[in-house]
Amino acid sequence: MADLSVTFCGIRSPNPFWLASAPPTNTGDQVMRAFDAGWGGAVWKTIGDPIVNVSSRYSSVDLGGVRMMGLNNIELITDRTPEINFKEITEVKKRYPNHVVIASLMVESKRETWHEFVRRAEDAGADGLELNFGCPHGMSERGMGAAVGQVPDYTCQITEWVKEAAKTPVIVKLTPNITDITYAARAAKKGGADAVSLINTINSITGIDLDSFAPRPSVAGRSSHGGYCGPAVKPIALNMVASVAQANLGIPISGIGGISTWRDVVEFMLLGSTTVQVCTAVMHHGFRIVADMIDGLSNYLDDKGFASPADLCGRALPSVTKWEELNLNYKIIANVDQAKCIGCGLCYVACNDGAHQSIEAKPRPEGRTDVRILEDHCVGCNLCSLVCPVYDCITMKKVETGRPPVNWKEYSSSPDKYPYLKDPHH
């Protein structure tokens, strides 16, 4: 059996599954119940000077009958006092000494204030500190959150202030609301950060009430942009985690963004994460989802012959490259399994109207549509296989071209050597 324990910037955790700083970690009772359910660590809901939150706070985007594909919030940091939060951190660490408790902090941009909260968090027993440089709403208007994370110089400076006082590891939580997240990651490293976590939520407005004309969630008929999370942001998070990992900063990554299953966890690890943090899935389904994550990761590691999650870290990075380095002579075409085809014709409509007109359709009187791939026209875009409602009915098969690999750099320097590449159906 694989050993699921991990070490993250010197902090030992029973497993890589942590709760992200969010509503599920707002109280000591929640964190302790999460630990009982199997979570290895928790990043406390961000602590700062007491603030007042609004009502309502959340809205969502549903897709195809699936609720909360994306979740938007305009909730700020905890509205519970620092005294209460630090007291509960002490109690949790007393009862669960082998689990990880990270204090998430956000205060005004003053050296002495950061020093004070660092001291109070560490005195309470926190195993580490996460600096919230990512909240895109509410706090950013006050010069905190994303207002810090979007300016590398500020990220570096405040990280330096924290490191002056900190005795425990310092994790900088990065905002995705930036052109290139690696700038902020490098700034955090320059400031002395021991690790980074990403991504925080994405600026969003999830929808408008068509009767009141107010954005959701409505607060007395008005609203604001909020922070977007959930399964919808996972592709963005994976890309940014990979970008930071490929920057070779020499510090570990805690991956965040749309993680719901053990498969999501593995993907984040393969792109460079050591631990993962989960929020929306817990808000949707509760703490118990970690049991399936633990079983799934354990079985996957055993099946692959890996001893621990550390063996996964970054294994997919060599396959992540720039477009200009991809092989232009690699070719695939669609293949329809006629025995599985239900004759809905959706692949034909998608290809004919939205892609490359590479599918022939012949409607039958009874309503069924026979489809056939026009192989000489197919460019291997995958669209038909993606829209097909029957699993494995349309697959993509490799075509041997007999030509050696060539990438865009090579082609653009000597285009006359590869005249066939000008034909989209080569």
Kind and range of the H or E element at 6? strand 6-8
Q: Is the distance from CB of 205 to CB of 215 less than 8 angstroms?
A: yes
The 3-state DSSP composition of the chain as helix, strand, coil percent (nearest 5) reads 35, 20, 45
Q: CA-to-CA distance for 38 and 35, rounded, in angstroms? A: 5
Q: Beta strand 202-204 with 6-8: parallel, antiparallel or unpaired?
A: unpaired
Q: Is the distance from CB of 341 to CB of 348 less than 8 angstroms?
A: no
Q: Catalytic: 344?
A: no
Q: CA-to-CA distance for 44 and 20, rounded, in angstroms? A: 7
**Which two three-digit tokens encode residue 366?**
């009874």
According to DSSP, residue 381 is labeled -
Could you give the dihedral angle defined by the CA atoms of residues 282, 285, 288 and 292, in that order, rounded to the nearest 10 degrees?
A: -100
CA distance from start to end of the chain: 49
What strands lie across the sheet with 58-63, from one edge to the other? 58-63, 66-73, 226-229, 202-204
Q: Is the distance from CB of 294 to CB of 4 less than 8 angstroms?
A: yes
Which residues pair with residue 396 across a beta bridge?
334
**Choice among 135, 229, 378, 393 that is catalytic:** 135
With helix as H, strand as E and coil as C, how does 48-87 read? CCCCCCCCCCEEEEEECCEEEEEEEECCCCCCCCHHHHHH
Q: Is the distance from CB of 173 to CB of 130 less than 8 angstroms?
A: yes
Q: Which residues are identified as catalytic?
A: 135
